Structure 1
């Protein structure tokens, strides 16, 4: 279990710019310490019907799958949808139903200029094909 410190990274400490991974990505502008909250992005939970409607839009590659039959997807605002996937991610995410947010945390210390990546499968080192993150009641 990771313990989180209370240091919060302000949104001005990260930026979106071109990425060699997948077009655009989120980068650290200064050192982000392990366990720090990088971003608390507002999120909209989507019904299955709304999720399917995304298939016909440019937003199709920018939503998150969730293990919830009524609301199986979420769209994150802020920089949330620009964090690229890596099987050896340096950050991880969780959802908060109470706050309707997607929370991005540093899995390890991230140096300035480094792209911040998450593992779409959940845990930063998870190599499974599909993962549906748990929503917490935070």
Structure 2
């Protein structure tokens, strides 16, 4: 994986406006199936901290990793900008050893394409995803 040594950001992805929802993560170059796209560090939040997020702009950007009562995490890097798709071209896995969310190409992603994940955890999971009304905390 290519990284810019000065800012530790992947050179092959970028965040820009998305047709799916607001901003999204896009491939700047072709990413082959199975390649690690990004390793995003996470910090875990207490139940109280998670509840406090309801009153902030970052409320819709946290991850639930396992038990929602114990595994609420906020991730850095581009992690919170990957949009949902029921037919995602990438997936993520939590690394307990490194406390990172690791994003991988589920299939080859062409340059210019938006990189999507399935918020249900599996790339082709067709289950509905619940998105709270953005006007309500």
TM-score computed with the length of structure 1 as normaliser: 0.84
| Counterpart residue number, 1:79 | 78
Give, in whole Å, the separation in 1 of the partners of 2:96 and 2:49.
Answer: 18
8 A Cα contact 2:43 2:73, kept in partner? yes
8 A Cα contact 2:65 2:94, kept in partner? no
Give, in whole Å, the separation in 1 of the partners of 2:119 and 2:106.
Answer: 14
8 A Cα contact 2:24 2:83, kept in partner? yes
Give, in whole Å, the separation in 2 of the partners of 1:130 and 1:115.
Answer: 19
| Counterpart residue number, 1:136 | none
2:110 is the counterpart of 1:111: yes
| Counterpart residue number, 1:28 | 27
Unaligned runs of 5+ in 2: 4-9, 131-137
2:121 is the counterpart of 1:122: yes
Name the CA shift for 1:20/1:130 in 2 (closer, same or farther; >3 Å): closer
8 A Cα contact 1:9 1:38, kept in partner? no
Whose helix proportion is higher, 1 or 2? 1
Unaligned runs of 5+ in 1: 1-7, 132-138
Give, in whole Å, the separation in 2 of the partners of 1:47 and 1:23.
Answer: 28
2:118 is the counterpart of 1:98: no
TM-score computed with the length of structure 2 as normaliser: 0.85
CA RMSD of aligned residues (A): 1.6
8 A Cα contact 1:13 1:29, kept in partner? yes
| Counterpart residue number, 2:50 | 51
Give, in whole Å, the separation in 2 of the partners of 1:31 and 1:12.
Answer: 12
Q: CA deviation at 1:88?
A: 0.4
8 A Cα contact 1:9 1:37, kept in partner? no
SS for the counterpart of 1:16 is strand
